[in-house]
Chains A and B, each alone.
Chain A
Amino acid sequence: MNPFTALENFLERPEMLAEEPRPAGLGRTGLLGYFAGTLGLFAALRMFSAVPPGIMSFAVVLLFVLALNYFLASSIHLFMDFTGARGGAGALFLAFGYTDYFLALLVPLTFFAKLEVLNGFLWFCLCFLLVVYARVRLIRGLYPVSANKALLSLCLPYAALGAVGFMAFVYSIAWLVWLVV
């Protein structure tokens, strides 16, 4: 199954991802989504000179995106499992890959942002929200949960990361104060 056919099938029936055995080509297309999305994200970041050039730099960004999504998928699956909703973590991880195709939008949007036609930050946020919306829809497709619970499960890992980051920030400030005083 070529990626276009796989994408068509997926758009038609997202729950196919959770089927056993999984139809051929669906997994590969999900991973291709990560690659295509990261390529778009990397191009956008390069246009803002936010990342260094080179294959290695792209590989680092791709690795980061994969690791982050792996963490998100596993924590969401854990949350769902604890709350009694049955589904597959692997399917969820691949589904997130499909949502990353939306990051391809960042390339033309960044073009317009650099031409000062659009507000870059605003469009980046809208693109991010689009990805979040698609993920909520997919979570609902893969787990029998309500939209609110799907949104909650998606936000929880971000909230946890934010809390850890905030705690580290507070402790580092306290440590600096201790160093100075």
Chain B
Amino acid sequence: MEEQNIGGAAGPGARPPEAQPAPAAARRGAALWLKIIAALYVLSLLAAYAVIGKADAARKLKPKDLDISKFAGLGKEKKDAVAVIPLYGAISQGESTRSWERGSQQLARRIKTMAAKKEVKAIVLDINSPGGTVGAVQEIYSAVLKAKAETKKPFIARFGEVSASGGYYVAAACDQIVSHPGTITGSIGVIFSVGNFEGLMKKIGYKSEAIKSGKFKDIGSMTREMTPDERRLLQAMIDDSYEQFVKAVSDGRKMPAEQVKLLADGRIYTGRQAKEAGLVDMLGDLQDAVDKAGELGGLGKNPRVLSDTDPFENLFSLIDTKLSSFGTKSLVDAVDTAPSLEYRWYGR
């Protein structure tokens, strides 16, 4: 009532004298608080980035600070491991753009990468292959030799069900070969096979003609009989590639070339026969191969295994396989009878 009276006395629209200073003080208080909060925020940000900067710098220095391998007796780090690289199926070039493919280029790159890893002390090549084209096989062979020369790390070849011809060629570059007693191996030799559709062509009334710059330009043609000159030329190529294979086995197995030639008439061996012939060092399974690699790498038996599998690459490989089955790729692959020089066993 008193307030009403006071208001009435002052007249309509008039404010109480103490009404104006109160919001102004509140605003000044709010402004002060906002400035304090902003200052605290800037300070905390500065502190945060100082800590982050220090942590980043420490992380960069970490390998140097913790390099215990310099101290004698502490050379064996906990994460030291034996790498296992699978080499499955027929060996071919593959497309270099598809990192998930298991072509010779990709395998050679994997061997190089794995051998360069500090924690990898030895490498097991898990081979289950009947071989493949000469160039592709030699690419992997060369990668193994280079990795051995550069890193001095031991390589162990492990044979699965079949490790013949080109599969054996790659294994010859390794320090030791471990095989199952029943593994099919050997088949040391070269093959060049070409089909002849001449009769079929005549039947369906199709004729193919080649205009060539030299008499050997269409060598390996499937539309006519092979000439004696072509046969001689191809035989010379086969002999040369065969000599390369024999040399690779001779160098790898420390065996005279003459002795290798006695074993290298293209025949296949069981793992046990191959051991008796000196083509294999010991009989055993993958674990035995890993143990052997561990021993040679200074890690002892049952070492940690670093598997060469990438989930993303496996996924891409799976997708590629499924998608290609929709297209004509599988059909093209099936009818691809282009002749090539191969270190391959066709018994499978």
* Chain A contact residues, CB within 8 Å of chain B: 4-5, 7-8, 11-12, 36, 39-40, 43-44, 46-47, 53, 104, 107-108, 110-111, 178-180
Would A8 and B318 count as touching, CB distance under 8 A?
no
**CB-CB < 8 A to B56: which residues of A?**
53
A2 to B312, CA, bound (A): 52
B48:A47 contact, CB within 8 angstroms: yes
5 A-B pairs in the complex with CB atoms less than 8 angstroms apart: A4-B31, A12-B27, A47-B51, A110-B48, A179-B322
Whether A43 contacts B38 by the Cβ 8 Å rule is no
* B96 interface contact, C-beta 8 A: no
Q: Count B-side interface residues using an 8 Å CB cutoff.
A: 18
Known interface pairs A7-B34, A53-B56, A179-B318. Does A108 touch B44 (Cβ–Cβ under 8 Å)?
A: yes
C-alpha spacing A27/B43, complex, angstroms: 25
- What's the nearest-Cβ distance from chain B to residue A42, in Å? 10
B41, A107: Cβ atoms closer than 8 Å:
yes
Nearest Cβ on chain A to B51's Cβ, whole angstroms: 7
Give me 10 other A-B pairs in contact (C-beta within 8 A), A8-B31, A53-B52, A179-B319 excluded. A4-B38, A5-B31, A7-B34, A8-B34, A12-B30, A39-B45, A43-B48, A53-B56, A104-B44, A111-B51
A8 and B41 alpha carbons, distance in the complex (Å) = 17
Q: How far is the CB of A180 from chain B (nearest CB, A)?
A: 7
Nearest Cβ in chain B — how far from A178, in angstroms? 8
Please, which residues of chain A bring their CB within 8 A of the CB of B318? Answer: 179-180
Is there an interface contact between A4 and B34, defined as CB atoms closer than 8 Å? Answer: yes
| B30 touching A11, Cβ below 8 Å | yes
Of the residues A111, A178, A180, contact of B48 by C-beta under 8 Å = A111
Measured CA separation A5–B30 after assembly (Å): 10
- Pick from B35, B44, B49, B52: contact of A4, CB below 8 A: B35
Interface centre among A12, A36, A108, A178 (most CB of B within 10 A): A108
Q: Are A40 and B41 in contact (CB under 8 A)?
A: yes
A104 to B48 CA separation, bound complex (whole angstroms): 12
The answer to whether B45 and A43 have CB atoms under 8 Å apart is yes
- In angstroms, Cα B56 to Cα A178, docked, is 44
